[in-house]
Structure 1
Amino acid sequence: MKAFGRIGLVAALAAATLTAGCTTIKDKRGYVAEDVLLNSVQPGIDNKSSVEGSLGRPTFASKFGADTWYYVTSDTRQKPFRSPKIKDHSVFAVHFDPRGNVISTERSGMERVVKLDPEGDKTPVLGKDRSFFEDLFGNIGAVGAAAPSGS
């Protein structure tokens, strides 16, 4: 009886270990947003230093156009041996005037996420598609050739 109990215990531990490796990994990436802090940013009242004091440094700031700070967060799920998939995505944008005062805030989410699928492993270019032999032998005779007359 004791031998069967030990075998059952070992089998149960082995099964628990194997199934633990098949669980989905949940991860939060980027800025960890809290609604209380995000709602505390008020246009006409706050400025860059007060926003930085309450929210911290932004994930990134605009380099062109209007002065805007972006706080980006993504919730991902990853199955074993797979790439992570985004399940939720949010962006909190704070727009500033030239003096550094908050003029507006904006929230966006998954509706603005775009999935790009590259077109294979080659970059499409304008021009003629050349074969291997045209690439290999195409310039024979072109190097050192005389320039066309009239130049």
Structure 2
Amino acid sequence: MTAPVNPLSGPPARRRAGPAALVLLALLAAPLGGCSVFGAPEELRGNRADAELLRDITPGVSSKADVTALLGSPTATSTFDGREWYYISSTTHIRPARTPGIDNQRVVIVRFDERDIVRGVEQKGEDDMRNIAMSERTTPVPGNDRSLLQALFGNIGRFGPSATTPVGPGAGPGAP
């Protein structure tokens, strides 16, 4: 038995995908890049204070040294007196071609009294957060509003003698 010269005209045979089919497949699969199947794993950011560790902190008994031993260094402290420690954490995941997505944000606030003994522990979650509207105004800076001609020709005439060139009578290159 002889093989046909043109396999497409003979009995059905397996065909290989050409470059056009591969391009079409890539275009159809591109929108799936944002799906969780192709997403990056979640990452823990900040200093997460676990609930089990927080139970070991006893208000009125535990000191700053005890809190540091249990939770580690705080993410931030209060600005003026240092009597509040903040442990800020969140879980992030990378979204393709976007900023990281943030999930499960949490802040643990540990308050101390004047003797550096824990006064209280408070947890804040996403429900306690508020969006803050940013101001669109900018502070004007003098000298930055230049026209196109000023930008092109602004340095003409600004260059004078350099600091290494002597200036004055008898200070030229041929002077004694």
TM-score interval, normalised by the smaller of the two chains: 0.5 to 0.7
- Say how many residue pairs are matched: 118
> How far apart, CA to CA, are the structure 2 residues paired with 1:37 and 1:71?
13
CA 1:124–1:99 in 2, change beyond 3 Å: closer, same or farther? same
Question: Residue 77 of structure 1: CA displacement?
Answer: 2.5
1:103 partner amino acid? R
Q: Which residue of 1 aligns with 2:129?
A: 112
Q: Which residue of 2 aligns with 1:143?
A: none
Question: Residue 39 of structure 1: CA displacement?
Answer: 1.8
> How far apart, CA to CA, are the structure 1 residues paired with 2:97 and 2:87?
30
SS of the residue corresponding to residue 90 of structure 1 reads strand
Identity of aligned residues (%): 32
CA 1:46–1:20 in 2, change beyond 3 Å: closer, same or farther? farther
Higher relative contact order (CA 8 A, sep 6+): 1
Q: Which residue of 2 aligns with 1:75?
A: 91
* Structure with the higher helix share, 1 or 2: 1
Q: Is 1:24 the equivalent of 2:39?
A: yes
Q: Which residue of 1 aligns with 2:170?
A: none
CA distances 1:8-38 after superposition (whole Å, capped 9, x unpaired) = xxx9xxx9xx899652332211013321012
* Structure with the higher strand share, 1 or 2: 1
Q: Which residue of 2 aligns with 1:57?
A: 73
**CA RMSD of superposed structures (Å):** 3.2
Q: Which residue of 1 aligns with 2:56?
A: 40
Unaligned runs of 5+ residues in structure 2 are 1-13, 151-176
2:86 partner amino acid? Y
CA 1:20–1:36 in 2, change beyond 3 Å: closer, same or farther? farther
TM-score normalised to structure 2 length: 0.54
Question: Residue 47 of structure 1: CA displacement?
Answer: 0.5
Preserved contact between residue 66 and residue 95 of structure 1 (Cα < 8 Å): no
2:124 partner amino acid? S
Larger radius of gyration between Structure 1 and Structure 2: 2
Unaligned runs of 5+ residues in structure 1 are 126-130, 137-151
Superposed structure 1 runs of 4+ greater than 3 Å apart? 18-22, 115-118
